[in-house]
A = this chain, B = another copy of it.
Amino acid sequence: MSQVAVLSAARVPDGAGSETTATRCKSCAVRTTALCASMTDEDLTALSNVGRRRVIPAGQILSWAGDESNLCANVVHGALKVTSTMADGREQIVGLLFPGDFVGQLFEDEMSMTVTAVVETDLCCYSRRAFEGILDQFPRLERMLLKRTMASLNDARNRMLSLGRKSAQERVAGFILELYERSRAAGESQVSIPVSRGEMADYLGLTIETVSRQLTRLRAANIIAFVNGDRDCRILDSLELEQILDQS
């Protein structure tokens, strides 16, 4: 999953950007999962010289659709949402970005989507122009970006199937399963839902009420169970969840 967007306001965390060598990059949490994975330790200097760490508080908008596109970034920690909005306020979340994902609209002067932090998020930011320059110098970096963009396109297409053809129950079950895969890959036993019910609705093309009712239904059927409020849940019957998805 790699993306396209840009950032405006943010505060700089203590000392970030002050180290001039690539030592900071080498120990970075996303050294092997972000685009940086395509670079050797030596080449990383090219990136570390222009990259600047920023912490974005939850709810803050990094950039509006229509803004000038002058920054791009790797997500280091947290989560971002990429949204498309209509004049009357209807909103669709067209992408969720997690650590290791890339955000920014390259080769374009204008941002086409709005990017917002859904929780407090650490970014490693680059000037868009500078990043494009680095891309020219490192074919392996460009290749990795190409592969990721293709993977994002694939994701987007799968979400089109969901939005165009699946029932509310199937969409909610699918979303829970996506999160389940993500947390299992991270070795966590519990699924933490990183977004509010409203954001889930905006992601799935539903209303808050419908999302809530479907979750209640899954809970009543003993397929999932919430622990400590409504943001963390345990999967009691992942087979049943999968069954809701691909054979109804």
| Docked complex: A134-188 residues within 8 A CB-CB of B | 139, 142-143, 145-147, 149-150, 152-154, 156-161, 163-166
- One of A22-30, A53-61, A105-113 at the interface: A105-113
Interface string of A80-111 (1 = CB under 8 A from B): 00101011101110110000000001110000
Chain A interface size band reads: 35 or more
Report yes or no: A248 in contact with B88, Cβ–Cβ below 8 A: yes
A246 at the interface (CB under 8 A from B): yes
A40 at the interface (CB under 8 A from B): no
Given the complex, which residues of B lie within 8 Å of A247, measured CB to CB? 87-88
A4 at the interface (CB under 8 A from B): yes
Given known contacts A4-B154, A139-B139, A160-B156, is B149 in contact with A92 (CB within 8 Å)? no
A205 at the interface (CB under 8 A from B): yes
